[in-house]
Structures are given as structure tokens and as C-alpha cells.
Structure 1
Amino acid sequence: MPSLKDLAKECGVSVATVSKALNDQPDISPATRERVRAAAHRMGYMPNAAARSLKTNRTYNLGVLFVDERQSGLTHEYFSAVLDSFKVEAEKHGYDITFINHNISGKSMSYLEHCRYRNVDGVVIACVNFYEPQVVELVNSEVPVVTIDHVFNNRMAILSDNVFGLKALVRQAWACGHRRIAFIHGEKTAVTENRVAGFYQACEELGLKIPEAYVREGIYHDADRCAAETKALLELPQPPTCIIFPDDFSALGGYNAISEKGLSIPEDVSVMGYDGIYLSRVVKPQLVTYQQNTAALGRTAADKLIELIEHPRVTLPEQIRVSGKLLDGGSVSIL
């Protein structure tokens, strides 16, 4: 592997000039900077990670705290897409990622202790119990943190616009003539609170009176639980004509429950999902759903975390909302 000296000889400049060019120092002309970088790319030069760490006081390693209580792990299409986008963007900036957990070689440690053990420069937090004491400890520590879909006071947060998403679904159902709209939401989280608020806001704006029995608690990514809630809705004296599910995967439970009742989608009952994962495009009938912008969520989380790390004095914590889009399908009838 070529060294800084090899690069300097190739470009006819000093080692100091090469170092300044690679580190984007302002006292190097743009032409020299580009010439050195072109030579580095051509010769396959890679900076020594240990040397770079000593010089910048950074490890170029980002932590990812991802705890999925449903045990679906990275097969959870929504979160895997967000984290993949995060990884791609981090790598563009020269960072690696490390998953944060409770155990190292059988030794139990807190999330904060693991971050310090791995010496990560910062952490993105997604899909955890944000009220868990160890999570709160990490958020309140000196480690730069960006959260996804949860807001902590004075911390950077990247949020999918869940209020807007639910309002878009309700308005679409209303535009198709539905007035008896039910909502099976997920377990109690900040995401759920925003979606429930969006549901009721849209209903109020449209003048819809929603019975309490139409709003039921399911579990995210749990088709069986949502199937049971669907059956309960269908057994009401006046069942809904349209049901919104907490996510596209859970909507499969609704599809099954409706079929077991001898009913058809959308002729007898209309169905809507949330997330816009690949499954929603291949299920029959194709699911009307709200697609979250996973690429923008992950990319923005990486960019903002790196800003916090590299420019801590000028980067202010903020809440950034990312909107998605409504995807059409054949699961909603026009009344």
C-alpha cells in the first residue's frame, strides 16, 4: 500500500502538502488538492486508521442502538431500510458502524459503557424503549446522539411525519366515500401517539364522528394480534367500512381475518396499511398505504450525527420531520 511519501513523490510536493490536501486544509490551492486526491485514488492510498484517530481525536466509528422487542431484527423491512441508508451515508463520510448492545464476551454492561468501550464518536438510536433508564442515561451523556422517531429535550431528532401520514390515509378513505373508518394502532410509543393524534385530527376536520370501539390497540409487526382486533371490529353491530392498520405486515392479519369471515377486500371491507414496504406492492389486492421515506430518514440521521461530531460548536439540536407519500392500490373501494 502506498504511503504519504509515495504520494508526495508522485505529485512532486512535500509530505506536509499531501497531508494538508487530503485533510482539506484551506492553505492548499484547489488545483493541488485535486491533483493529490486524484493520485491517491489512482494509487489506492488509504489513510492509516490509527494515525487518523490520533490526529483528529476521532475513531470514525458510529454506534447504532437498535433493539427490536418483536424479535424480527433486521428482517424488519422499515428499520432495515432506514439503517441501510444510514450506513451508506456514514460510509460516504469515511465512518464505520458498530451495533451497541448489553454484552461483550459474556460481560454485561450498559449501553453507555459499551459506547465508551468501543469509543464511538456518536450514536444513532432507533427502535428501542426510549424510556428505559439505560437509554435515558446514554441520551443524557456526553456522547453525540441522534434519535429516530422520538424526541428528547435538547437532542437531535429525525422524525417521520406520522401525523401527516395518518391524516393522508383518513382523507383518502373519506374521499372514497367512507365514513365509518376504524384505526388499529400499535403499542404505546411516541410514534403511536402522533399517529392517533393525526387520525383524530383528520376525523375532526372532516366532521367524522368515530365511535370509541373503532380505535383499538394492536401491536406493530404482529399479524396475529391485528387479526384478533379485526375480528372484534367486524363483530360490532355497525362494523367499519374501512380499517387502517399499524403497518403493512400487520395488515396481513386483517386480510386473513376478513377472509375467514367470508368477506372480500375491498368489496365488503376496505383496508389500509402504513410503511409502504415491498410486501404492500405484491399482496392481493395491492394495499393502499402510506410509504415512509426510509432513504431520507437514514441519510439525514447520518448527516446530522456527523455534523454534531465534526462541528459541535455550531450544530444546534433540532427536530427534522421527513414526509413520505401515499401509495395507491386496490384495497379501498369507492362507495
Structure 2
Amino acid sequence: MGTLKEIAAKCKVSTATVSKALNDHKDISDETKELVRKVAKEMNYFPNANARALKTRRTYNIGVLFEDEAKNGLTHDYFASVLDSFKRTVEKKGYDITFVNTNIEGRNGLSLVEHCRYRGFDGVMIACMDFEDRQIQELIASKIPVVIIDYIAMGRISVVSDNISGIRDLLTYVYNMGHRKVAYVHGDDSSVSRDRIYSFKKTAQRLGLKIPNKYYIEAPYRIMTASQNATAALLDLPDPPTCIFYPDDYAAFGGINEINERGLSIPDDISIAGYDGIRIGRHIKPELTTLRQDTESIGEKAGEKLISLIEDPKGTKIEEVVVKGEVFEGNTVKDIRKNK
């Protein structure tokens, strides 16, 4: 394997020029960079990661802190898609990602912040965590560059899906299809759930819909048994809804199970709508009506903002980046206007 000195000798430049060329410095011409990289490749040169970190003060490694309450991990369709986009974005800039061990405290005596420093992360992306947890709050308050997905923290960059407009657009679509009795099986308490419930109630009020309290039922995200039980309770009401909203597409499958077990037809007997726009929802029959979140943009913007914060901390705006989704009409909401 070649050394910087050997590459410099072959290219007839200084070792400093070789180092700058390999690190893409602006004061080195493109022609020189191309020559140095070509020779480095021919000589099988690989920079030492530790030496590079000492010189650049970066490890080019980003920590990813991700763990939903149900412990779904990367089987969580929505966040898996966001993380995939985030990964591709930072890799294009030469960064690797490492998943952070959330059970680190007690095993080696380090706090989460200390562990992130020990691992030398240039920055950390946080998604789908318990943001009331002391360790998470300490990390957010630390000097480590952080970007947060779907949660807003003072003084930190957040990339959030526009849940307010998402629920508004979805309920407006259902209303325009003629539905006036709409129930909402919403997720358990979180900032996301609170935004969606607020939007649902405000939109219903604007449209002149009177939603009885019995039409609101809480069920955890992505738990099909819970959403199936909620669906059963709604269908057993003396005056059941004509359409049921679910907290996410996966939970909607629990509703579908209950409806099918009763021998009812979707959407002829009962209409349903999910949220997220996961791929499998487009492969069931009928296709699920849902609010498709722009996971590609969410992951991409999170990656871009975190790298900007790492490389240009003073020039990076600390802001809340809101990403809008769109209604995917599907075929699970019946047009009942003609029946009126």
C-alpha cells in the first residue's frame, strides 16, 4: 500500500498538496486532484481513519438514535424509509452512519452523551424516541450537532412532517366524498398525535361536522389488535360512522381484519383511511386511501441539515423544516354523495 510521500513523488507535488487533493480542498486544481486520486488508487492508498480524524477533527461518522416504543426497529415501514433516504444523503457526502446503542448506560458507566463523544460521532440524528427521557434531553442540550425528526426542541434543527395539513387534507377529501359521520382511531399521546387530533377537530369544525366523543378512540401506533378492537367498538355503536380514520396504515390493517371478519365490504359497507402511505398499502385490494408522507424529502433534508451543521455550524440556520405530504385517494373511501 502506497504512502502520501510515495504518491507525492510520483505526482511530482508536495505531500501537503496530496493531502489537500484527497480531502477536496478548493485551492487545489481539478486536474491535480484527478491525478492524485488516480495515482492513489493505483497504489492502493487508503487514509488512516484515526490520523484523518486528528487532522480534520472529524470522523465522518454520524450516529443514528432510533427506537420506537413498540421496538419495531427497521421493520417500521415509515421510519425505515426515512432512514434509507437519510443514509443515502449523508453517504454521498462521504459520511458513514452507526446506530447508537440505547441501552449503553449501566453497561460501561457512560451516559448517552458520553457514549456519543466516546464513539467520536460528528453529529447525531434522533428519530422516534421518548423525548421526555433524561438521556435524550441531555443529548439534545449538549454541544453535539443534532437533527431531530418529528419532534420540535428549542435551539435544535427539526425536520417534521406537516401533520396539521395532512389531516386537514385527508378529512377534507373524505368530506368531499359525502361522509359526515367520521370516526378517528388516533395514536397514543405524543406531539404528533396531538397535532393530528387538533387538526382533525379544527377541520371538522370548519366543515361543520359534529363529531361525537364516542367517535374518538385511542390506539397505539402500528398495533393491529388495538385498532381491530377499536374498530369493533365503533361498528357496534347504535349509530356507527361511515368512515374510520386510523393512526397509520399498519394499524388500518387491524381495522380491515375486523371488517372482513364481520362479512362487511370495504368501501361499500364502511370506508377507511390510513396515514403514512407505506408501500404495502398500494398492494392490497382495494388500495388503501391514505395521507402519503414524503419520507424521501424528510430523510434527505435531515441529512443535508445535519451535515451543514457539522461543517458550517455558524452559517447553518437553526430552524424547523416542515415537509408536506399528499392525499393518496386509493379505493377505500366510497363516494356516497349520489346516495344523498
- Tell me the TM-score normalized by structure 2: 0.92
The amino acid across from 2:11 in the alignment is C
Please name the residue that 1:288 is paired with.
Answer: 289
Once the two structures are superposed, residues 54-104 of structure 1 have per-residue CA deviations (whole angstroms, 9 ceiling, x without a partner) of 111112111111122212111111111111221222222222222222228
Please name the residue that 2:33 is paired with.
Answer: 33
8 Å CA contact retained: 2:105, 2:111: no
- Cα pair distance change 1:16/1:272, threshold 3 Å: same
8 Å CA contact retained: 2:275, 2:292: yes
Please name the residue that 2:145 is paired with.
Answer: 144
8 Å CA contact retained: 1:102, 1:109: no
The amino acid across from 1:89 in the alignment is T
Unmatched runs of 5 consecutive residues or more in structure 2: none
8 Å CA contact retained: 2:63, 2:97: yes
- Structure 1 distance, partners of 2:231, 2:167, is 18
8 Å CA contact retained: 1:171, 1:202: yes
Counterpart check, 1:24 vs 2:24? yes
Counterpart check, 1:251 vs 2:258? no
Please name the residue that 2:188 is paired with.
Answer: 187
The amino acid across from 2:280 in the alignment is L
State the Cα RMSD in Å. 1.9
Please name the residue that 1:264 is paired with.
Answer: 265
Counterpart check, 1:82 vs 2:49? no
Once the two structures are superposed, residues 288-320 of structure 1 have per-residue CA deviations (whole angstroms, 9 ceiling, x without a partner) of 111111121112111111111111111121100
Please name the residue that 1:167 is paired with.
Answer: 168
Please name the residue that 2:50 is paired with.
Answer: 50
Please name the residue that 1:222 is paired with.
Answer: 223
Residue 325 of structure 1 deviates from its aligned partner by 2.1
8 Å CA contact retained: 2:105, 2:112: no
Once the two structures are superposed, residues 185-243 of structure 1 have per-residue CA deviations (whole angstroms, 9 ceiling, x without a partner) of 11111111111122123222222221122122111000110111111111222111111
- Cα pair distance change 1:47/1:324, threshold 3 Å: farther
- Structure 2 distance, partners of 1:323, 1:10, is 53
Counterpart check, 1:92 vs 2:56? no
- Structure 2 distance, partners of 1:52, 1:196, is 49
- Structure 1 distance, partners of 2:6, 2:214, is 73
- Structure 1 distance, partners of 2:42, 2:273, is 52
Residue 108 of structure 1 deviates from its aligned partner by 5.3
Taking every aligned residue pair, what percent have the same amino acid on both sides? Answer: 49
SS at structure 2 position matched to 1:157? strand
The amino acid across from 1:19 in the alignment is S
- Residue range with higher mean Cα deviation, 29-38 or 325-334: 29-38
Unmatched runs of 5 consecutive residues or more in structure 1: none
Q: What are the within-5 Å matches in structure 2 for residues 115-154 of structure 1?
A: 115-154=116-155
The amino acid across from 1:74 in the alignment is L
Residue 125 of structure 1 deviates from its aligned partner by 0.6
Counterpart check, 1:331 vs 2:298? no
Please name the residue that 1:204 is paired with.
Answer: 205
- Cα pair distance change 1:43/1:304, threshold 3 Å: farther
Counterpart check, 1:320 vs 2:317? no
8 Å CA contact retained: 1:102, 1:108: no
Residue 10 of structure 1 deviates from its aligned partner by 4.4
SS at structure 1 position matched to 2:144? coil
The amino acid across from 2:5 in the alignment is K
- Cα pair distance change 1:62/1:183, threshold 3 Å: same
